[in-house]
Amino acid sequence: MTTVDLTGRVALVTGGAGGIGAAVARRLAKLGAKVAVLDVDAAGAHRVASAVGGIAIAGDVSDPATMPAAVAQVEKELGRLDVVHLNAGIGGGQTGVDDALDVARYRKLVGVNVDHVVYGLCAAVPALRRQGGGKVVITASLAGITAMPTDPLYTLTKHAVVGYARAAGKALAGDNITVSALCPGFVDTLLLGAAKEEFAAASFPLLTPSDVAEAVQSVLAEGGPGEAWIIQPGGKATAYDFRGVPGVGGGQMPPDVVLGRV
């Protein structure tokens, strides 16, 4: 793992009240950053922010007004923005294939897992440009690069996030803004719910939030524009090698080809 010096830098972490977000907030503070912790759990955000010497922001990231307001508050109180970890996420809670779809629950899933990423990046880019560039890491999942049949709706949102990060990363590279996705395997957080007991019974190894925070550090230090990094228990964080796709008239297009309008 390559270290990175964030002394004098400012970071914003969404979903920062617990789990991966709290671990990342602690890691970024240890690396020298001032950290803004955003979460719908106001008390949790304040608890983590106090522990790392940062600021707390309460808000629902699925609300389109939350991320622009959060970025404005960060710049006002901390003076700048250099690193953004768009981490907030929730589980599907329904299959979306063989049950009656709870539309409100589905819209909330998409709002937190997908819309918040778009709102967050759009809000952060002007602030990052004012500093001459910056880093954005989006928490996706292995479900963003492979199928998770136990939760198709969650898989849908994480595939969307990976695709968005890959395209946005290329689009913003010229602004010295590096956008990358991080795709962890199963992590020991509250998101696992009752499944945690099944993993334990099967002696299935889980990542810890600290493992993922370490991977975020690796992505900040070494991640390239539009890359998707994976991390599994017992392994090192590494960029995923996407295959190319068939080209016009046969042959193989490279995996990161820029598609123009036809």
Count of the separate structural domains present in the chain: 1
Q: How far is CA 52 from the centre of its chain?
A: 20
Query: CATH code at 224?
Result: 3.40.50.720
154 carries an active-site annotation: yes
Query: pLDDT, tens digit, for every residue of 85-118?
Result: 999 999 888 889 987 899 999 999 999 999 999 9
pLDDT above 60 for 261: no
Q: Is residue 107 part of a domain?
A: yes
Give residue 82's pLDDT.
98
70 vs 241: CA distance, rounded Å: 34
Query: Read out DSSP for 145-200?
Result: TS--TT-HHHHHHHHHHHHHHHHHHHHHGGGTEEEEEEEE--BSSGGGTTHHHHHH
Give residue 199's pLDDT.
57
Closest alpha carbon to 242 in 252, 251, 250: 252
Residue type, 93: G
Pick from 24-33, 117-126, 200-209: least confident? 200-209
| Averaged pLDDT score across all residues of the chain | 91
Q: Is residue 5 part of a domain?
A: no
Closest alpha carbon to 64 in 126, 132, 117: 117
Q: Is residue 3 part of a domain?
A: no
Which region holds residue 89: left if phi is over 0, alpha if psi is between -120 and 50, else beta? beta
Which region holds residue 93: left if phi is over 0, alpha if psi is between -120 and 50, else beta? left
How sure is the predictor about 15, in pLDDT bands with cuts at 50, 70 and 90?
A: very high
Q: Single out the catalytic residue among 119, 154, 164, 240.
A: 154
Q: Which range of residues forms the domain containing residue 212? A: 10-253
Q: Is residue 262 part of a domain?
A: no
Query: Read out DSSP for 33-96?
Result: -EEEEEES-HHHHHHHHHHHT-EEEE--TTSTTHHHHHHHHHHHHHS---EEEE-------S-S
Q: Is residue 211 part of a domain?
A: yes
Query: pLDDT, tens digit, for every residue of 130-160?
Result: 999 999 999 999 999 999 888 999 999 999 9
Q: Is residue 4 part of a domain?
A: no
Predicted TM-score (pTM) of the model is 0.91
